[in-house]
Amino acid sequence: MDNQSFQPYQQPTQAMPQTVGGQPGQPVPGQPVPGQPLQPVAAAPKANKSLILMIVAVVSAIAAATFIGLFIWMYAKWDVAKRDVDGQVMAAVATAVNENTEELENQFTEREKSPYRTFAGPADYGELSFEFPKTWSVYEARDAANGGDYEAYLNPDKVYTVNSSTINALRVTIKDKAYDSYISTYDSALKNGKIQLNVRPINGENANVYSGELPSTKFVGMVAVFKIRDKTAILQTDAMLFADDFQKILDSVHFNQ
């Protein structure tokens, strides 16, 4: 072996930490110290960031769920309100149409009554007369040609069979009986409050007009009782449905004193 090419083995020396200011043993800031484990300085910020992202996601999900719930609730309220408004509008329109239709029908009915016709009673009984709608029919049950009571009935379209339960628009009776003795038949009903009394002039004479539950009948209507010479005239409607027509008839009554 060539002694000149032989070099003895040297044990590797441990690197000494760099010194600050030439003083050995003091580590330089920012450099790891030999023999100490490295600290994971980046792990904590990453964990905090993940937690923040999770919280944001949860809050966002809750806010989204709340918004969707409020939206559904508000839509339901709006839908109910809309249906309610639509229903009210439809009901109002239907009411208006019905009222307008009824008004038009009433106007048509009133126009159809004109021109009015003239009713004429027997000459021997004061020749009672009045105006009545042309759409009404007249049935003369007793003409009093041979004395006694006079009876006639009037009703729209036709006069139904006359009895205690059949309603007619107007009953005309002239009784061969004194006025004072006849009106006493209403005294009991007046005391019981079943009828009311109103006194009004008819052809210059005061007439008793009774309204309510008519005595000895099942009718709720109106009756006008007045004198014609020595006799008693009674005009009666069997239903308040004809009250306006009845008043117009009384306004047009004429008879010979």
Q: Tell me: the pLDDT tens digits for 44-95?
A: 667 777 888 888 888 888 888 888 888 898 888 887 877 877 777 877 777 7
Say how far apart CA 214 and CA 99 lie, in whole Å: 32
DSSP, collapsed to helix, strand or coil, labels residue 39 as coil
- Mean predicted lDDT score pLDDT of the chain: 83
pLDDT of residue 54: 83
pLDDT of residue 40: 54
Among 10-14, 28-32, 81-85, 114-118, the range with the most confident prediction by mean pLDDT is: 114-118
Say how far apart CA 127 and CA 255 lie, in whole Å: 5
pLDDT of residue 26: 57
Closest C-alpha to 128, from 112, 115, 144, 110: 144
- Sheet architecture: strand order including 195-202: 136-142, 150-156, 170-175, 231-237, 220-228, 205-213, 195-202
Closest C-alpha to 180, from 231, 121, 221, 215: 231
pLDDT of residue 100: 75
Q: Tell me: the pLDDT tens digits for 226-255?
A: 999 999 999 999 999 999 999 999 999 999
Residue 33 has pLDDT above 60, yes or no: no
pTM of the model: 0.61
Q: Tell me: the pLDDT tens digits for 140-171?
A: 999 988 889 999 999 999 998 888 889 999 99
pLDDT of residue 151: 96
pLDDT of residue 136: 96
Q: Tell me: the pLDDT tens digits for 168-211?
A: 999 999 998 889 989 999 999 999 999 999 999 999 989 999 99
Cross-strand bridge partners of residue 138: 154
Largest CA distance in the chain: 187
Q: What band does 34 get if pLDDT is binned at 50, 70 and 90? A: low
pLDDT of residue 44: 61
